[in-house]
Amino acid sequence: MLHRTISRILTTTTTIILLSALLITLTTAQQQQPKATVIVTIITTATATAQPTTTTTTTTQEPPSYTSPALFQSSILDVSNTYRKAHNASDLIWNTTLTQYALNWAQECKWQHSNGPYGENLAFGYPNVSSAVAAWGDEVQKYNFQEPTGFTEETGHFTQLVWRETREVGCAAVDCGYNTTNTTNDDDNGNGKRSEAGGGGGGGINGTERPQGWYVVCEYSPRGNIIGGKKKLGDKEFFKINVQPSSTYSGPYNTGSAGNGAQRVECIKGLWWVVLGWWLVLLTSG
């Protein structure tokens, strides 16, 4: 009689543990599903083997991160290296030569790529420089780590930002003002944001559109988004080496069929408890 009572207690306890483990597993998986983020991108395909990228939104704010050189530099490095750490890439260091190149181009206030020797990300109109860099990095949500297709217009900023072979960065920002008469081929969608993609190394609207507000230019060395540079590997494998997922990153990004490493670890832990629970049920039933 006592043995049956103990067995029933153990069975009930085990069932509770089992159900709790299942609940934890399902909750963890649900919480880590990718969240959609809308970002407007403008990316130009260059004729070189590496592809520069651009991003745009609009605002009228002018915070200190644009006007203070020290804060500008630290903000870019902090946000950039946060994304790079999450994807197994070393920290970028600031390069004054790249910075001067970026400044020279930003002062032109041309919404197109410089077609220079470096990797290049562009953005204008963001409320601060941190949000501009974050817009590039958040394209990770659209990137498929399992089946990368090389450079794409949707993820080109992100891949340059976390490219493992890239070691240095230099950026500049210039207030290009607001030109209300700039309507040449302007595809304004009515919500204050525009998007465009071009080819042949050009940019903007036939190279004539002027960026509105604060114009951010970042140069990277060695350049990323290399296409056709490693023929023995192929673009797919070369991108897998340079743009990596991370088992320690729990943010909302799309890893394709590979899945998120942190999510897989949590699910495995939950399944382990499920197996243990069923084993205890069988043990006490006997």
Kindly report the average pLDDT of the chain as a whole number.
70
pLDDT number for residue 221: 98
Contacts 24+ apart (CB under 8 A), 10-13: 10/280, 10/284, 11/281, 11/284, 11/285
pLDDT number for residue 238: 87
Please give the residue that has the higher pLDDT: either 57 or 164: 164
Q: Give the rounded percent of residues in the chain with a pLDDT score beyond 70.
A: 52
Contact 227, 75 (CB under 8 A): no
Look at strands 119-124 and 53-56 and give their pairing: parallel
pLDDT band with cut points at 50, 70 and 90 for residue 28: very low
Please give the residue that has the higher pLDDT: either 14 or 228: 228
- The candidate with the shortest Cα–Cα distance to 211, out of 191, 197, 194, 198, is 194
Q: What are the boundaries of each domain within the chain?
A: 2-32+270-285, 41-256
pLDDT number for residue 99: 99
**Whether the model pTM is above 0.75:** no
Q: How far apart are CA 205 and CA 209, in angstroms?
A: 5
Neighbours of 252 (CB within 10 A): 15
Q: Give the rounded percent of residues in the chain with a pLDDT score beyond 90.
A: 43
Residue type, 162: V
**Average of pLDDT values for 127-138?**
95
Q: Considering the domain delimited by 41-256, tell me its CATH architecture.
A: 3-Layer(aba) Sandwich (3.40)
Kindly calculate the radius of gyration of the chain based on its CA atoms and give it in whole angstroms.
24
| Residue partners of 62: CB distance under 8 A and separation at least 6 | 175, 214
Burial class (CB in 10 A: 0-12, 13-18, 19+), 29: middle
Q: Read off the pLDDT of residues 96-110 as tens digits, 9 standing for 90 and up.
A: 999 999 999 999 999
Within the chain, what is the greatest distance between any pair of CA atoms?
Answer: 91
